[in-house]
């Protein structure tokens, strides 16, 4: 049996979780205040993901960049690759909040979406 400690980032409370593993099997998750913590811990063990928040270059707008985020969390091991793709893109103004800037980035099922107008 092994134990892994982690902080749940599913909400600002930041519960300290302890995951007990037997090989690849999760035996228990403790320290979570709600069910989301249990789900977070299992995802973090087997397929860690992160929401991606950044900016994309924008031409012709009020600002030189437009803020964007991923529509769903992307696998942690693809974050750097996703950033390379995002950094290679320049959009033309006008950009509207909610506009999909990059569809299904790197086949992750996440869309990169504008979070503000520009």
Site for ligand SF4 in 11-30 (CB under 6 A): 11, 13-15
Nearer to ligand SF4, 5 or 92 (CB): 5
Residue 3's DSSP bridge partners are 20
Q: Does 39 bind ligand SF4 (CB under 6 A)?
A: no
Instruction: Give the tokens for residue 73.
Output: 């969390």
Choice from 32, 49, 70, 71 touching ligand SF4 (CB under 6 A): 32
Q: Does 10 bind ligand SF4 (CB under 6 A)?
A: yes
Q: Does 110 bind ligand SF4 (CB under 6 A)?
A: no
Return all residues near 12 (Cβ < 8 A) that are at least 6 apart.
none
Return all residues near 13 (Cβ < 8 A) that are at least 6 apart.
33
36 three-state secondary structure: helix
Nearest to 21 by CA among 43, 42, 2, 47: 2
Nearer to ligand SF4, 8 or 114 (CB): 8
Q: Which residues are near ligand SF4 by CB under 6 A?
A: 8, 10-11, 13-15, 32-34, 36-37, 40
């Amino acid at each position: 049996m092994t134990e892994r400690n982690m902080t749940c980032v599913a909400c600002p409370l930041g519960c300290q979780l302890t995951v007990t593993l037997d090989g690849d099997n999760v035996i228990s998750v403790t320290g979570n205040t709600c069910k989301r913590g249990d789900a977070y811990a299992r995802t973090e063990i087997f397929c860690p993901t992160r929401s991606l928040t950044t900016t994309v270059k924008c031409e012709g707008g009020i600002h030189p960049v437009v803020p964007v985020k991923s529509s769903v969390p992307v696998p942690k091991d693809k974050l750097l690759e996703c950033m390379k793709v995002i950094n290679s893109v320049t959009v033309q103004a006008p950009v509207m909040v909610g506009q999909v800037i990059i569809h299904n980035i790197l086949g992750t099922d996440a869309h990169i979406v504008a979070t503000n107008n520009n």
